[in-house]
Structure 1
């Protein structure tokens, strides 16, 4: 009954918005005024330029609109004679006086020039919105967010609407971790993506794009969508750059330099950074062991204290060559070198059935980690004309190493672990875009991804003897070839985009120690369809469908055992199959002068979904059963949800944006295993849960031009198949002030003000054969409250200055392509 009521409310909600969008004077007997707005020097389209149509010699606006990403506009007015004004902030406005409009009229291309007199006054306050809401994606501009100064990419992503990062650094979108993370349009080649994101400084990031329902031009990988991280690339003429120094508590400090030198033909860019970070965290797990009749059998309390220290160097250097006015070739080298140390102390306290203390023990894990990532990228762009006809080609070659070793001391035992990984990867891609007539566009492309990963992992005892049950050598090879095509066109107010992608996958997962070889070969077709209706210049309605795929990777497939706790351990599953998702999304966007509102309803239907299950592995430590957590292809998952994003600028000195996500997840499936007595145990893991999350961000300019930012995040409680995750709330704040005639900025931020960002959960396990069970309550805090102070200095690059010399082209390559027509 609740679901029926919820559906009725949804229908009423969308009906109300649709009726509201339709209000206004009848559109009949009106004519269309169209045109394009470009920057005069670079011929770059100006998005969000304002067009105002007024009666002659009257300042009252009769009709108006704004330009789309291509600089295009369309305004409907009654036939007559009008004054037309075109404006863009820090540019000289253009006026067309006494224009007689009796039929559909094109004003052609309107070129605007920068107003040098206004630029010095306006540029400091002319920042883009922190979050730009577009119909097919959300764009988060990192440069405007004080919260992440001195932080990492993980901090950036955790401030992006619809995105969250858990205590282990894993990224999720709309509550799902089945996503694809791109850097400059290319998949991250790091072995441990979560750790790589924690090492890359936030200061190297320009913006983040969140694409919840990608088209056929993108990789099919990522069941719930794509997150594209775009790195900074300077474009101003001459030598310019930014230096950022930061320090914090717990002990954290770093220095980053972004330098750029541009001539008429060549553009040199580089980013260099060093950082030292200290993360203090901890957690606990309290477990009650119960007999078949529910009476206590014993208790175990685990208390964990963790300290992680890391040193990282990040370097990026490249050159962009303008071969011809319409041909560009960019080459870059990316290098990361990270090292760290982790101290993890677990104290165990044992109790009998009456909860009387019976003994204590401790387990100390001292670990050293190191990684080195080297990547060469090349991007070639050929624009055949200024209407979007182009060819792009991309190449990426990378080699990544990830090493870790640890000493585990637990009386009376002593263990050593070693984990060495080497990954090599080559990616090639070509994309062709051909506009056909007005409002139509054809695209086609190829992508090949070829990877090879070797992983040696072993655990030795106090006698330096390798444990064959915990050690293995993994060889993982992955070859993917893909072809795609899509066609988009516009008919009146409707825009359409239909695409089809074909991917052929060949994966080999080989465990060399026991000669266990697994081969996964499959090919799939991935259709996509997008329909958009332009209700007015300020509002749009869209519907989309795509088929997505999630391949098991990383720790999901690696059978190496996480041995930091000897009673709660994790192990990957090399026999996992990919999951397939059908995604449906209905969206509506409405813009007012001070408000942008975007809402969507989405449905995801996933087969062979991954899920973690916890089972006894048959071993005991001091009478305590060891619990193994591992991923399996559980069965079927359906997710139905609503998302709302709201941007509001009540005053020039105050900006607000918020995001709300509510969804229901229904999972059906079971897990079958053989217990130590040879009994077949079937775990029914059917589960249905509702949960929601909300995020709000406020940025205020105080007196003396001090900027104050405050944001809060809340994640609601969610039921799981074997327990539940409790709710979580956290809040961050930051203050910044421009100094030295706006050439420098000093910022202070506090992450997790109330030290409340703690993952809390309950887990319930029952042996259906013996009737014995256990109940656990756990807490995990990856990083405690942090304080950070940063200083930013800019030379030959005023704060907020837009790219005056950029050319109209799509950079970054990878999964790029043409713009959606219309």
Structure 2
């Protein structure tokens, strides 16, 4: 890409933004205006967000950008001679000389066709070399580059390379700022699949962005104590036919294949797009747990081998009825087939106890389908719109497990989720905006469990959430603010049945208010401060309240607790972003006050004191606070880096094994990813991460660290890229822990952390970027500037 053109367009955009803030809507006396419409010369389609730069004797006077229909109007110009430049990336710049006089105050340039710049288009890449981090008023956006794609085959694997995010390598449980109460969205929508499962099913090459929303506004559902992680899948709207193909193989103990295909076709009033991802291969894990409690000593050894295949497909279209009305549809389908085999061997120190060897084989078939319809109406006033969205998803999961007891377990789980959302946005003035919304979420899950082909248990779970929100944004010069609240009516009920046991029930009915507030101060274009507050909730999930045994080993049973109740969190954040000559640096502090925290608990089995039950419980009120800093830095033309560091402190207290326990721990995490450019086509990456020790009420997790090295080489005149990566060079990653309650134990688990990856990406098509306005909820991304969300 011609750097000069990019800088000119960027400058034009900055000028246009300033012009939009400064130019009054009415035409002043003895002043003139310039108007026109910009279209694509080949397709005759209007081009939006095109830079219009007005110059006087080669000096920029003012400017603007085109609207969705390609039109522009620049007012309040002195009656002089000007040069108007129409600039857009991927197109040749057009210049027009005009003269504003007393007799000719209004000049209409009519329709201005822009011609594709074939030279510039050769430099356009679908995927950037390096991932970038952008700090916005309410979220941190990670634009996924080739370095992250090659870091792992799945979403779960690349999450560990993202600031503030950690994924447990054994359970795939995800945490944000040290807390696992985080909500996962796909393209801004909830999913019926457990987060630990969906992260392993999404190929990394299918991901466009990952958004960390640590303090969401009232516009978003308040679920998730530590916030929201939104995974945005690839989607674009380039004119013509365009696409890319990604293929990669990871070599650990066995090879694992990761492939994806993305395409879109944009012509006239239609934009059709789709992508497909495949992830398949075997995973090997192993571990041990030592029980050191006097009189109950044992050694448990675990071996796991999983052979999983996941297909993820997304297809959709946008139909532009006219300049003001758009209908969009997409459907996502995820098919997952897994086969697992495990061996658990228990060696008792007491010779009077018989050692145990348990074999377990299981098959898991999961099919999830999502359908989304969206209609957006733009009113005459810019930014004034209303949007109706209907989203339906269904999850059908079947599991067949065989134990060496012998015993067979056959489980079916069917979940449905219907979301209806209505959003209304009205810019009350140039500096104020009102947002209103209504939402209905209807969810239900049905589960049936057969043991040795005989009915054993079942449960039904229904949850309905009805909500409304209102937010008001205002900007005063260098200050901007937003305040809002979400009103939510929530009711849930469940019925658990099991043979030879009394039926268990769960019921919850709440009407709650969730306020939020943001204040932003930007003294200049290099410094920005942001203060925010939000109230959030974590409601017990199905697995957390289900008293029916979820899984078991010879020594541990896992089950839920139907007596759980929601936990509420008040979250405060202060962030500061500094733009320097070498990049941007964002630092921040946060504080959370947690009421009735839900946590994992381990206690003795009342029917057998030698065994344990893993469940959930509400603890007392707790506090957590921390500090973060991250930066995108270009030290040299040939060396750039993404660096992050975070430290958080948590004070937790509760009852464990009938004993009051309180812990106070500070955990440190750091990550750095370096990109070196020895030549125009060659890129080298060296990255490392360190996760400090963590202390819970029952266990202490030991530190974890690893170092990776990768490279990429561009071929085929920029259309192809070969990538390679060697992960965990020193084979240092493992999960080690020790604890004393309710029994003295220590253990360690290892997986295929040390691996080699090689991949190839090919981009095709002759289309060009068209910056049409995507519907806002498609990415759940803030629009506007400052505090105007």
709, 715, 719: which one aligns with 2:695: 719
Cα distance in 2 for partners of 1:203, 1:396 equals: 25
429, 434, 444: which one aligns with 1:437: 429
**Per-residue CA shift, 1:520-552, capped at 9, x if unaligned?**
000100011111111211111111111011112
**Per-residue CA shift, 1:293-328, capped at 9, x if unaligned?**
xxxx24211111111111222222111101112321
Map 1:173-252 onto structure 2 (within 5 A).
173-190=176-193, 192-249=194-251, 250-252=254-256
1:596 maps to what in 2? 584
**Per-residue CA shift, 1:568-626, capped at 9, x if unaligned?**
22212233211110000011111123220111110000111111111110344xxx811
Q: TM-score, length-normalised on structure 1?
A: 0.80
CA contact (8 A) 1:449 1:480 kept: yes
Cα distance in 1 for partners of 2:730, 2:672 equals: 16
Residue 185 of structure 1, CA deviation: 1.3
State yes or no: 1:651 paired with 2:616.
Answer: no
2:740 maps to what in 1? 764
CA pair 86-536 structure 1, distance change in 2 beyond 3 A: farther
Cα distance in 1 for partners of 2:128, 2:506 equals: 56
1:293 maps to what in 2? none
1:777 maps to what in 2? 746
**Per-residue CA shift, 1:137-174, capped at 9, x if unaligned?**
21111244354477112123222221111121111111
Cα distance in 2 for partners of 1:751, 1:263 equals: 42
SS in 2 for 1:741: helix
Deviates more, 1:507-516 or 1:142-151: 142-151
CA contact (8 A) 2:131 2:147 kept: no
Cα distance in 2 for partners of 1:489, 1:327 equals: 27
SS in 2 for 1:561: coil
439, 442, 453: which one aligns with 1:447: 439
State yes or no: 1:629 paired with 2:614.
Answer: yes
Map 1:283-302 onto structure 2 (within 5 A).
283-290=287-294, 297-302=295-300
CA contact (8 A) 1:253 1:277 kept: yes
1:27 maps to what in 2? none
2:120 maps to what in 1? 119
Cα distance in 1 for partners of 2:85, 2:694 equals: 53
CA contact (8 A) 2:280 2:308 kept: yes
Cα distance in 2 for partners of 1:176, 1:39 equals: 51
379, 385, 408: which one aligns with 2:374: 379
SS in 2 for 1:215: coil
**Per-residue CA shift, 1:679-702, capped at 9, x if unaligned?**
xx6221322111111111111223
1:370 maps to what in 2? 365
CA pair 655-93 structure 1, distance change in 2 beyond 3 A: farther
CA pair 133-248 structure 1, distance change in 2 beyond 3 A: same
CA pair 416-596 structure 1, distance change in 2 beyond 3 A: same
**Per-residue CA shift, 1:418-437, capped at 9, x if unaligned?**
32211011110010000011
2:482 maps to what in 1? 497
14, 18, 34: which one aligns with 1:34: 18
**Per-residue CA shift, 1:195-234, capped at 9, x if unaligned?**
1221121222111111111100011111111111111113
400, 408, 419: which one aligns with 1:416: 408
1:404 maps to what in 2? 399
1:796 maps to what in 2? 765
Cα distance in 2 for partners of 1:535, 1:133 equals: 17
CA pair 465-264 structure 1, distance change in 2 beyond 3 A: closer
2:162 maps to what in 1? 160
1:28 maps to what in 2? none
State yes or no: 1:281 paired with 2:285.
Answer: yes
CA contact (8 A) 2:291 2:744 kept: yes
CA pair 704-535 structure 1, distance change in 2 beyond 3 A: closer
Map 1:578-589 onto structure 2 (within 5 A).
578-589=566-577
State yes or no: 1:262 paired with 2:246.
Answer: no
CA RMSD after TM alignment: 3.7
Deviates more, 1:429-438 or 1:662-671: 662-671
Deviates more, 1:340-349 or 1:136-145: 136-145
2:388 maps to what in 1? 393
1:313 maps to what in 2? 311
CA contact (8 A) 2:531 2:575 kept: yes
CA contact (8 A) 1:223 1:548 kept: yes
CA pair 86-669 structure 1, distance change in 2 beyond 3 A: farther
Residue 639 of structure 1, CA deviation: 0.4
State yes or no: 1:568 paired with 2:556.
Answer: yes
CA contact (8 A) 1:423 1:452 kept: yes
CA pair 33-131 structure 1, distance change in 2 beyond 3 A: closer
Cα distance in 1 for partners of 2:475, 2:94 equals: 29
CA pair 95-694 structure 1, distance change in 2 beyond 3 A: farther
CA pair 155-320 structure 1, distance change in 2 beyond 3 A: same
CA pair 530-812 structure 1, distance change in 2 beyond 3 A: closer
CA contact (8 A) 1:135 1:540 kept: no
CA pair 129-758 structure 1, distance change in 2 beyond 3 A: closer
CA contact (8 A) 1:284 1:780 kept: yes
Cα distance in 1 for partners of 2:432, 2:709 equals: 46
2:27 maps to what in 1? none
Cα distance in 2 for partners of 1:89, 1:499 equals: 37
Residue 670 of structure 1, CA deviation: 2.3
CA contact (8 A) 2:94 2:114 kept: no
Q: How many residues align?
A: 720
661, 664, 667: which one aligns with 2:646: 661
CA contact (8 A) 1:610 1:634 kept: yes
Cα distance in 2 for partners of 1:328, 1:450 equals: 26
User: Any unmatched runs of 5+ in structure 1?
Assistant: 1-31, 71-82, 98-110, 291-296, 672-680, 767-773
Cα distance in 2 for partners of 1:86, 1:284 equals: 66
2:338 maps to what in 1? 340
CA contact (8 A) 2:210 2:229 kept: yes
SS in 2 for 1:559: coil
**Per-residue CA shift, 1:639-691, capped at 9, x if unaligned?**
011111111012233220111111110123325xxxxxxxxx62213221111
Cα distance in 2 for partners of 1:183, 1:395 equals: 15
User: Any unmatched runs of 5+ in structure 2?
Assistant: 1-15, 22-35, 40-45, 69-82, 98-111
2:710 maps to what in 1? 734
Cα distance in 1 for partners of 2:207, 2:639 equals: 24
